[in-house]
Amino acid sequence: MWLFLILVAVPIVEIALFIKVGGFLGLWPTLAIVLATAAAGTLLLRAQGREAIDDLQRSLTQGGDPAGALAHGALVLAAGLLLLTPGFFTDAVGLALLIRPVRAAVIRWASRHMAARMEVHVHAARTGPGPGPAGEDEVIDAEFVVLDEDGRPRPEPDPDARRVPPR
């Protein structure tokens, strides 16, 4: 439902902004602004994308957790797609996503909302050599602690919160 609303609302906002800005500045300055933001966004995307790849390689080389670097890289990619999409609203969101503290805030927000809805199941295949007959997989009972970006344990989610059933 949310995706449908976004796919309908964003073009409407873009059209309204084009009409307002075009009426105020005129056609050619409006088109020049759209092309300039796309060009500037492309240059910023190259620099930020290279930085995201370097961060990912650095975390993998040092044996760290690549999740943060992957999340930043995914948001840089999303920013690039938004900047290449013509429009003032998408350009504003894309430029905002190229700012590292904005990306960090989006990642924190998303991780809090995802962690509250996530249920972890750990399964392992048979430990002996070769595949076992169907139904003989061992289930490993596991406990885990969710850590925040500082490495501190995150508080347990509310047990009365709505749970999403596993797929």
Residue whose structure tokens are 């999740």: 67
* List of residues 6+ apart from 75 with CB closer than 8 A: 97, 103, 106, 107
Per-residue pLDDT reduced to its tens digit, 11-54: 899 999 999 999 999 999 998 988 888 888 788 878 887 888 88
Where is pLDDT greater, at 130 or 19? 19
Per-residue pLDDT reduced to its tens digit, 52-65: 888 888 888 887 77
Query: Which residue intervals of the chain are DSSP H helices?
Result: 2-25, 27-61, 67-84, 88-97, 100-117
Please name the amino acid found at residue 164: V
The pLDDT value recorded for residue 125 is 47
Beta bridge partners of 152: none
The pLDDT value recorded for residue 156 is 66
**Are 78 and 96 contacting, i.e. CB atoms less than 8 angstroms apart?**
no
The pLDDT value recorded for residue 120 is 54
CA–CA distance, 146 with 108 (Å, rounded to integer): 13
The pLDDT value recorded for residue 29 is 92
123-124 vs 138-139, strand pairing mode: antiparallel
Structure tokens at 164: 């999403």
Give 164's pLDDT tier (boundaries 50, 70, 90): low
The pLDDT value recorded for residue 124 is 47
H/E stretch holding 138? strand 138-139
* List of residues 6+ apart from 121 with CB closer than 8 A: 166
Q: Does residue 88 carry a pLDDT above 80?
A: yes
The count of other CB atoms within 10 Å of the CB of residue 107 is: 17
Give 105's pLDDT tier (boundaries 50, 70, 90): very high
**Are 100 and 72 contacting, i.e. CB atoms less than 8 angstroms apart?**
yes
Greatest alpha-carbon span in the chain: 73
Give 167's pLDDT tier (boundaries 50, 70, 90): low
Residue whose structure tokens are 């909302």: 113
Across the chain, what does the average pLDDT equal?
A: 77
